Amino acid sequence: MKPAPADWLNYHHLIYFWHVARHGSVSAAARELHLAQPTVSAQIGALERAVGGRLFERAGRGLRLSDLGRTVLRFADEIAWLGRELLDTLRDRPVGNPVQIQIGVADVVPKIVAHELIAPAVRMPEPVRVVCYESTHAELLARLAIYDLDVVISDAPVTSQVRVRAFSHLLGECGVSFLASRSLRRRLRRPFPQALDAAPFLLPTANTALRRSLERWFDEVGVRPNVVGEFEDSALLKVFAESGAGVFAAPDVVRARVAAQYGLVAVGRTDAIREEFYCISTERRVTHPAVLAITSAARGTLFRRPL
């Protein structure tokens, strides 16, 4: 698809695109805009001709943004916010264009840990709008390299094998606790860590640093759990643990919160396994105010007190 000859954008088209992107379908956007569906489709087509590429891809019955669409959406978001600020100014309403931060969260990072790391950015005195994306470590680094993200939160640093100019900032590290349902804990009669031998166990998938550390530690202490499940989604793993399906390892920093949320109890803990969490950015020295809030809170309080 070739770009339009005119070197300008129709901003109505950009706003229509913004509504479609928010809803994930042309029909839903058309209802909100009180327009006919073909009209909205035509406006999206005109914008695609102007930018020179497809903005959406088919995803079942809906739409998902293409790589180009995600880039365009960042600018469309800013334009939408500026439009609202203009109206607020004209109507004598309080204004305050929020600082925006685009955060990529590696899918191996437990959701509770991700929340605790990101929450300080939301609590900043000045308005902040956090936009979070979840994907694999490698995919997020690729987006960071083209400045599609401000920062990536992961359980591993950038290695020399990754051809991305990025810098890893250690947020903190902690040991791990082994948690299980109360009914399962009662069946594990031997002392820790022998209690894990032949016990049903829920592991993260092989692409995680924690999985590799657990397997090394099992060999070192001479236990062989009965692995009944492997999970990429840490939240789903915890739901299985809640039902009594098995024991699992959680970062000490969120041990108490995980146990309370899912009704679990501790089987044991070790400092021989270390969970590390990193903030990865294209800056050698962090300057983004929201990223500074994340790093300061993590190093100052989060990893000094279990939650």
pLDDT tens digit string along 42-60?
A: 889 988 988 889 999 887 7
**Which stretch of DSSP H or E encloses residue 239?**
helix 234-242
Give the pLDDT confidence score for residue 150 in this predicted structure: 87
Which CATH superfamily hosts domain 99-172+277-304? Periplasmic binding protein-like II (3.40.190.10)
Place of tokens 């994907």: 135
Task: Report yes or no: 44 and 16 within 8 Å, Cβ to Cβ.
Answer: yes
Task: Report yes or no: 267 and 196 within 8 Å, Cβ to Cβ.
Answer: yes
The strand pairing partners of 280, in sequence order, are 152, 168
Residues 18-51: tens digit of each pLDDT = 888 888 888 888 887 778 888 889 889 988 988 8
Distances (CA, A) of 250 to 87, 99, 306: 47, 33, 11
Q: Which residue spans of the chain are classified as CATH 1.10.10.10?
A: 11-90
Of the options 1.10.630.10, 1.10.10.10, 3.30.1540.10, 3.30.1380.20, the CATH number for the domain spanning 11-90: 1.10.10.10
SS3 209: helix
Residues 208-263: tens digit of each pLDDT = 889 999 999 999 999 999 999 999 888 899 999 999 999 999 999 889 999 999 99
d(CA 242, CA 30): 43
Place of tokens 């594990």: 188
> For residue 289, is the peptide bond before it cis, meaning its omega torsion is within 30 degrees of 0?
no
Q: Which architecture characterizes domain 174-275 according to CATH?
A: 3-Layer(aba) Sandwich (3.40)
**Which stretch of DSSP H or E encloses residue 117?**
helix 111-122
d(CA 47, CA 55): 9
